[in-house]
């Protein structure tokens, strides 16, 4: 029988909701408990720093960027705790990799956006939430009205699902303010055309 017991924790929410902060907090506590910790992030997330996982309030922790989730199976062999940030950018194989790690006895903590900029479930996150023992949904503050925010509203016009950006590209918004913004976006081209 496996002496160690593994499990999966998911920390999800919109942009600026504190997912990375919460991930760093849990991993630092594991380090205090003298556990072996490794943090991975998708190689495409190069915001701020190529190697560190950095939160919006500048907390950071050293991480390993990997191009595909399977690399974790090789690199996390001796770990007690594995953290994954920006998990939404990995493909669906991340789900099986996390399950395999947990089955081996590893504690897996996965942080990622639960919804994309259209408010749709993002990549492997919904399935990870299904197989996890613990799911924590954290919230940002709506920049329009100050209510609790669950949506990442894209300010720029790009239609690409992956657009790395910060306060210049996204805003945290509550449901009504997100819906208002989406409605404005669809009527904008008409009103712009009407001006000419
Ligand atoms: P996430 O990983 O979910 O994008 P971070 O953990 O990187 O979030 O950053 C959370 C921090 O972002 C907060 O502690 C706060 O300092 C900052 N922040 C900026 N804008 C907002 C907002 N609209 N709501 C809440 N926190 C915000
Ligand atoms: Mg983050």
Report domain extents, the chain: 7-139
Strand partners, 115: 121
Which of 57, 144, 166 to probe ligand 1 with, by most ligand atoms within 8 A of CB? Answer: 57
Weakest-pLDDT range from 71-75, 156-160, 183-187: 156-160
Give SS3 for 65: strand
What are 196's two structure tokens?
């000419």
Nearest-5° Cα angle at 58, 53 to 64: 10
Nearest-CA residue for ligand 1 atom 16 is 57
Distance 17 CA to ligand 1 centre (A): 5
Q: Which position among 86, 147, 159, 188 bears the catalytic label?
A: 86
What are the start-end ranges of the E strands in 74-165? 81-84, 107-113, 134-137, 140-141, 148-149, 151-154
pLDDT tens for each residue of 63-93: 999 999 999 999 998 999 999 999 999 999 9
Give SS3 for 57: coil
What are 76's two structure tokens?
């996390």
161, pLDDT greater than 80: no
195, pLDDT greater than 70: no
* Reported pTM: 0.90
- What is the structure's pLDDT at 140? 98
Distance 88 CA to ligand 1 centre (A): 17
pLDDT tens for each residue of 17-57: 999 999 999 999 999 999 999 999 999 765 555 677 777 77
192, pLDDT greater than 80: no
The pLDDT-based confidence of 190 (bands split at 50, 70, 90) is low
Q: What is the CATH number of domain 7-139?
A: 3.40.50.300
The pLDDT-based confidence of 193 (bands split at 50, 70, 90) is very low
Instruction: Report, as an integer, the average pLDDT of 119-131.
Output: 98
- What is the structure's pLDDT at 45? 60
183, pLDDT greater than 60: yes
Catalytic residue status for 86 = yes
The pLDDT-based confidence of 1 (bands split at 50, 70, 90) is very low
């Amino acid at each position: 029988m496996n002496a160690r017991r593994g499990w999966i924790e998911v920390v999800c929410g919109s942009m600026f909701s504190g997912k990375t902060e919460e991930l760093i907090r849990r991993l630092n506590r594991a380090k205090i408990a003298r556990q072996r910790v490794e943090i991975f992030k998708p190689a495409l997330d190069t915001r701020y720093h190529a190697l560190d996982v950095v939160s919006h309030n500048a907390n950071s922790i050293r991480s390993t960027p990997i191009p595909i989730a399977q690399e974790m199976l090789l690199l996390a062999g001796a770990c007690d705790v594995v953290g994954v940030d920006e998990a939404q950018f990995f493909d669906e194989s991340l789900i099986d990799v996390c399950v395999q790690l947990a089955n081996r006895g590893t504690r897996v903590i996965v942080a990622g956006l639960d919804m994309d900029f259209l408010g749709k479930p993002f990549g492997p996150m919904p399935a990870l939430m299904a197989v996890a023992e613990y799911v924590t949904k954290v919230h940002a503050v709506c920049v329009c009205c100050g209510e609790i925010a669950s949506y990442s509203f894209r300010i720029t016009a790009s239609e690409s699902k992956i657009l790395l950006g910060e306060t210049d590209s996204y805003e945290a918004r509550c449901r009504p303010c997100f819906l208002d913004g989406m409605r404005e976006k669809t009527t904008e081209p008409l009103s712009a055309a009407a001006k000419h």
